[in-house]
Amino acid sequence: MTNEKSKTSERASQKKAKKAADAPACGLCGKKRNLTKTECCGRWICDDADSYALFSYARNSCYRNHDRYTLCGFHHQEEHGGDWKTCPQCRDSIDTEMYVYYGTNEYNFEVLEDPPSYEPTRCSKCSRIIRLAEEGYSVLGSEYTCSDCG
């Protein structure tokens, strides 16, 4: 009798493990609780946009990061047709450096294959390279100024 209980318990454990493995998970961080699907591509993601503090520039929200910092999110918000990976409107709408960042960063479910090359953006005063996606800067017309010179 003990052997039958052991087999039943083992089967129940296997079912529970399979069910947990089949449960949806955030495609970015892997969490399995408090999920929603993205509006742009219908992928499972943390429903955590409310955890973002306005004007903090924090990158602590999977949902917000995908929505705001990817070509997939941009393509959807701009209501472009077709696939974001081949969209000429997206390509023409964004500076090449930011286009590459939006298409290849860690907030994507899929990354842009063969991103275009570009010359790095330099400060118009000191010539230091400015990483547009990661640093503070000012822009006036076509001149970028780093935060040290601004």
Residues 36 and 58 in one domain: yes
pLDDT for res 11: 62
The 3-state DSSP class for residue 70 equals coil
**10 has pLDDT over 70:** no
Up-side HSE of residue 11: CA atoms within 13 Å toward CB?
6
Q: Is residue 11 part of a domain?
A: no
Give the pLDDT band (50/70/90) at residue 49. confident
**Average pLDDT of every residue of the chain:** 89
Residues 107 and 126 in one domain: no
- Residue 115 CB partners (closer than 8 Å, separation 6+): 99, 100, 103, 104
- Indicate the pairing of strand 143-146 with strand 137-140: antiparallel
Compute the average pLDDT of residues 81-91.
Answer: 97
Residue 123: DSSP 8-state: -
Structural domains counted in the chain: 2
Comparing 14 with 53, the larger pLDDT belongs to: 53
Give the pLDDT band (50/70/90) at residue 4. low
Residues 133 and 110 in one domain: no
**90 has pLDDT over 70:** yes
**CA-CA distance, 73 to 65, in Å (whole number)?**
9
**52 has pLDDT over 80:** no
Helix %, strand %, coil % for the chain, to 5? Answer: 35, 10, 50
Compute the average pLDDT of residues 93-116.
Answer: 96
Determine the structural domain holding residue 148 and report its residue range.
120-150
Contact between residue 63 and residue 46 where contact means Cβ atoms under 8 Å apart: yes
pLDDT for res 50: 84
Query: What residues does 145 pair with on adjacent strands?
Result: 138
Q: Is residue 100 within a helix (H) or strand (E), and if so which, with residue range?
A: helix 96-104
Q: In 38-135, where do the E strands start and end?
A: 44-46, 121-122, 129-130
**What digits encode the pLDDT tens for the residues 139-149?**
999 999 999 99
Compute the average pLDDT of residues 61-70.
Answer: 95
Tokens standing for 108?
């994507």
The 3-state DSSP class for residue 42 equals coil
Residues 89 and 71 in one domain: yes
Q: Is residue 8 part of a domain?
A: no
Residues 132 and 87 in one domain: no
